Amino acid sequence: MTTQNRAGSEADPLPRWRAGAAKKAIVDFVERVTSAGGRDEVPPHDRIAVFDNDGTLWCEKPMPIQLDFILRRLVVMAEQDRSLRTRQPWEAAYTKDFQWLNAVITKHYHGDDSELGVLAAGILAAFAEISVEEFEARADAFLRTTKHPTLGRDYLACSYAPMIDLLNYLAANGFRNYIVSGGGRDFMRPVSRDTYGVPRQRVIGSAVSLAWNDDGGSGTILRKPELDVLDDGPEKPVRIWNHIGRRPLLAAGNSNGDIPMLKFSEQPNRPALRLLLLHDDADREFDYRAGAEQAVESAYANGWTTISIKDDWATVF
């Protein structure tokens, strides 16, 4: 198989990327692994690409999109039950104390989960005991009708256009793209195909425990207020193997929690491409490094390809 939209052809394979080292590394890699008869050719069934979602495929500031979805539900719960207004995380949601919320997430990326359990308890309670279909319907409606709090764009318009170019380019060259995110699997599934061209069965993410309820008809699956898996850090390679049964050829992330997934893509005698997205564009998006310090160090130490939003993308959204 030969690559589609080769560099130098009339059609630019990554039209919303600026010429530079990152774009060249991607195109060169795809050409290497898809050139028929080439030394580094990889058969299509092994062309696996995995992508983190929050901060890699769509915007994650001033808070992850799913957290906004959950916080709105916690506010409703606090309005209905006054006793929740002095308990975290309902208190933070009700008083809009986003500093506390972001601090919990940043601490997690630094390996400090001392307050993560408090936040998780509220997250698990927010949509407990409803059916998986009802949850998906609520998530789908939220994502399609809600605007980003500071960018003024619909949430689904906060996906990164250059990364969608990359997903399309890989798919055109025989890759199977997967989303591997610390975000909720069932939150992303309703929009993954429309937004990224990734079918729902290729979404791997965090999940709550589920239970079958025999209602005398076709039955329902209910969400339990219990965590099944937090798909972050070392859990990402485990979940990739459980779900796909292969190491990825390409992995892309943006935070410390993505380091194990990026490392997992390396295989003996086979090329690999590790991409680390750097948020360094305060004018068009956000400029931050918190929660990605170790990932940046690993990228420079191991020769991973870094992507600068400021320098490598002609447009962001």
Whole-number pLDDT of residue 78 = 96
Based on the fold, state whether residues 188 and 252 are members of the same structural domain: yes
Which tens digit of pLDDT belongs to each residue from 145-199?
A: 999 999 999 999 999 999 999 999 999 999 999 999 999 999 999 999 999 999 9
Q: According to DSSP H, which parts of the chain are helical?
A: 21-34, 65-80, 90-95, 98-109, 116-126, 132-145, 161-172, 185-196, 235-244, 259-264, 293-302, 309-312
| 28 pLDDT higher than 50 | yes
Based on the fold, state whether residues 39 and 173 are members of the same structural domain: yes
Tell me whether residue 149 is in a domain: no
Domain boundary among 126, 143, 169: 126
Based on the fold, state whether residues 206 and 285 are members of the same structural domain: yes
Based on the fold, state whether residues 265 and 244 are members of the same structural domain: yes
Number of domains in the chain: 2
Residue type, 62: P
Tell me whether residue 91 is in a domain: yes
Domain of residue 109 covers: 65-126
- CATH number where 209 lies: 3.40.50.1000
Return d(Cα 226, Cα 231) in angstroms, integer.
14
Based on the fold, state whether residues 54 and 174 are members of the same structural domain: yes
For helices 185-196 and 132-145, angle between their N-to-C axes, nearest 10 degrees: 50
Tell me whether residue 133 is in a domain: no
Domain boundary among 111, 126, 141: 126
Whole-number pLDDT of residue 236 = 98
Return d(Cα 31, Cα 2) in angstroms, integer.
7
94 in Cβ contact with 87 (< 8 Å): no
Whole-number pLDDT of residue 5 = 54
Which residues fall within 8 angstroms of residue 14, CB to CB, at 6 or more apart? 23, 26, 27, 162, 165, 166, 169
Based on the fold, state whether residues 105 and 47 are members of the same structural domain: no
Quickly count: other Cβ atoms within 10 Å of residue 244's Cβ.
Answer: 16
Based on the fold, state whether residues 94 and 41 are members of the same structural domain: no
Which tens digit of pLDDT belongs to each residue from 81-137?
A: 999 999 999 999 999 988 888 888 888 878 888 888 898 899 999 999 999 999 999
Which tens digit of pLDDT belongs to each residue from 202-256?
A: 999 999 999 999 988 999 999 999 999 999 999 999 999 999 999 999 999 999 9
Based on the fold, state whether residues 44 and 95 are members of the same structural domain: no
pTM of the model: 0.93
Which tens digit of pLDDT belongs to each residue from 44-82?
A: 999 999 999 999 999 999 989 999 999 999 999 999 999
207 in Cβ contact with 221 (< 8 Å): no
Based on the fold, state whether residues 257 and 294 are members of the same structural domain: yes
Based on the fold, state whether residues 228 and 103 are members of the same structural domain: no
Of 273, 275, 211, 221, the C-alpha closest to 248 is 273
Whole-number pLDDT of residue 111 = 83
pLDDT band at 10 (very low <50, low <70, confident <90, very high): low
Tell me whether residue 150 is in a domain: no
Based on the fold, state whether residues 50 and 83 are members of the same structural domain: no
Based on the fold, state whether residues 257 and 220 are members of the same structural domain: yes
